Amino acid sequence: MVLKRRIDTRWWVLFCCCCIVFFPAFFDFQVSVLVQRLTGTAIECINGIDTCLNFSLYQFNILASMDYWTRAVAGVFAGIIIDKYGTKFALWGSAVGMIVSTLIFTLGSYVKTTTGAYIMMLLGRLLFGLVTGGYSVIIHRVKAGWFKHKELALAFSTEIFFDKFATAIAFLLYGGILGSIGLRGVLWLSFFLTVISAIALGIIAHLDSARTSAMVWTGTADTRPRTIWFSLQYFDAVYWLLVAILLFYEASVQPLIADGPLYFAGAYGYSEATASYLTGLIYDLCFLAPIVGWLTDRYGRRDYGLFFLMAITCLAYLLALTLKTTFPAVLLTLFVGIGFTSYSSILWSSIPLLVTHESIGLALGLGKLVASAGGAAGMVTAGAILNTGSSTGDLPWDSFFIFLLVLSSVCVVISPLIIYLNTMTGYRLTLSQRQKADDAVSEVTPINTSF
């Protein structure tokens, strides 16, 4: 009975974690769909059909990236706090902050002046980043505690699937109903969806405080590192190279997600809805995440998988730059989507394998800081590049893709270094689930009973 409870409980914990990331994705990526409404360039704005805002492209990219900056700061501090004090109070605080931040952002669209609306919505995104940056590290640590030496990559990739799937739905849903409910209707819908996520955060907090018998070091660590620097000195070169990939890869993909609808509408002549659908294809490939996670658990070879995914993303940008609009837009988003969806499953599940369990919160938080900072810096820089255009119809898309190509090329260069260093440090990224279980603890799992 105890064994059955352990199995049942950890999968319910994973379900709650998936709910926590699923619903905020609608709020997070609504700005990409609303880019023409927020900048006042949509036909409905010009004709006065919808109440729109008039942000510049530079302001829009700062707004879209603001939560990435605060998410970066929140991620590392959340990792430190939960390593020392546990997860309960941090999760309850995240639940409250989720509701407050999204409400401020939504109400900002009702402010009469452009400057006032911008400041209020910027504040909402800032607070939203603090909340999501904190709880994302917490639930990563919870999953690592329940699934290490078991279905670790599958647990991470299942959560990633729900995150990306929600984003794909957001692009499809909002692209289809935007014309009917307008800017404010989309904002209110996103707000009510995030309330569901706040409820899920409360459930996870309750499970943590209840201390079920199956809970393994997700509350407060038994052995605490004396200082942050004491932990950092044990993070080796393989970990830091993975962090470098997080920095450059997020910086190369997030600008395309944010400005993709504008690019496809302007360069290819697609409608606002079609351009949103094409951008959402990056997330439509989210079904690959659990498959990649399962394959990674079963066969290992995380280092080689990362190299392949970095290469396919770099190839997509190279073809977009050289072939321009003769390169089908669907292939661009398909290649980037394969790389972006799959790399998360491999990379984030690799970090717990490289550090001690007392330092997992710090390691994940630091990775979140760098990834968020990379995405934010990439979007701000891309916004500055596009802002040099003389008009919306004459934007420097070549410079935009050169920027993305350079960033993705750095990832391609880093990947072979990870392969080499992994062979020199015990093949930690190469081992399969069965090999890790043989070296650590015997596994109990309802879905992988044999190989």
Residue 167 has pLDDT above 80, yes or no: no
What does the pLDDT read at residue 219? 47
* Tokens linked to 181: 């409910």
Share of residues in the chain with pLDDT > 90 (%): 20
Picking from 1, 126, 4, 142, the residue whose alpha carbon sits closest to that of residue 68 is: 126
* DSSP-assigned beta bridge partners for residue 391: 394
Picking from 238, 232, 438, the residue whose alpha carbon sits closest to that of residue 350 is: 238
- Sequence-distant (6+) residues with CB within 8 A of 244 are 370, 410, 414
Q: What is the spatial distance between Cα 267 and Cα 393, in angstroms, rounded to a whole number?
A: 8
Which tens digit of pLDDT belongs to each residue from 25-34?
A: 888 878 878 8
pLDDT band at 104 (very low <50, low <70, confident <90, very high): very high
The helix/strand/coil state of 432 is coil
| Assigned architecture for domain 2-439 | Up-down Bundle (1.20)
Round the average pLDDT of the chain to a whole number and report it: 80
Q: What is the spatial distance between Cα 198 and Cα 400, in angstroms, rounded to a whole number?
A: 37
Picking from 341, 321, 343, the residue whose alpha carbon sits closest to that of residue 332 is: 321
Domain extents in the chain? 2-439
Rounded to a whole number, what is the largest CA-CA distance in the chain? 69
Q: What is the spatial distance between Cα 130 and Cα 71, in angstroms, rounded to a whole number?
A: 5
H helix runs in 285-396, sequence order:
288-299, 302-323, 329-354, 360-386
pLDDT band at 443 (very low <50, low <70, confident <90, very high): very low
